């Protein structure tokens, strides 16, 4: 595997994005994934969810999640050609902060314009702490090198 980015560079790419696919398992062991809007705050991600949503319930019961962040690439070329995004994937531990709790209120402020004002009072917050390694594909490499998995794939330690 190639190592083309540092932990700081990978986290900067996560911080600059705001959309990810969040995955967890139900108490019965069935996989679930969903697109989410997030904000990086310090070394964690925060996501607003409905307090009675499956995300809030399933994540609260297990606390283990996986996240994949697509990273747009291609610049002007992406206007005329379908350029696949680079990706950053990682697993982590998650905590669900109940709606109205002090932790939820401060995290919701950080989400700012990503969350409609009407939802701020009623939203629970999922706080995710990455662990292990970031697995990147196509990050910080030339577009044509994405065709070679050995060059495009990298494991980078999560910031400690």
CB 90 within 8 A of CB 44: no
The structural domain count of the chain equals 1
* SS3 label, residue 9: helix
Structural domain for 64, as ranges: 7-157
pLDDT at position 19: 97
pLDDT at position 154: 93
Whether residue 23 is contained in a domain is answered as yes
pLDDT at position 3: 58
The CATH number of the domain where 56 resides is what? 2.30.110.10
Q: For residue 101, what are the CA distances in angstroms to 51, 107, 120, 125? A: 12, 10, 12, 9
Whether residue 2 is contained in a domain is answered as no
* SS3 label, residue 27: coil
pLDDT in tens, the chain (160 residues): 555 789 999 999 999 999 999 999 988 899 999 999 999 999 999 999 999 999 999 999 989 999 999 998 877 777 787 888 999 999 999 999 999 888 888 888 888 888 888 887 789 999 999 999 999 999 998 888 888 988 999 999 998 6
């Amino acid at each position: 595997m190639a190592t083309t980015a540092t932990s700081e560079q990978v986290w900067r790419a996560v911080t600059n994005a705001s959309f990810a696919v969040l995955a967890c398992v139900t108490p019965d062991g069935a996989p679930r994934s969903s697109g989410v809007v997030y904000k990086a705050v310090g070394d964690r991600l925060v996501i607003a969810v409905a307090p009675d949503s499956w995300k809030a319930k399933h994540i609260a019961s297990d606390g283990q999640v996986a996240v994949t962040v697509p990273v747009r690439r291609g610049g002007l070329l992406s206007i005329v050609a379908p350029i696949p995004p680079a990706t950053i994937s990682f697993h982590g531990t998650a905590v669900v902060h109940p709606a109205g709790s002090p932790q939820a209120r401060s995290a919701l402020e950080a989400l700012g314009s990503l969350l409609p004002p009407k939802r701020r009072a009623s939203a629970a917050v999922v706080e995710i702490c990455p662990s292990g390694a970031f697995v990147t594909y196509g990050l910080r490499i030339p577009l044509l090198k994405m065709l070679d998995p050995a060059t495009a794939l990298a494991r980078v330690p999560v910031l400690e």
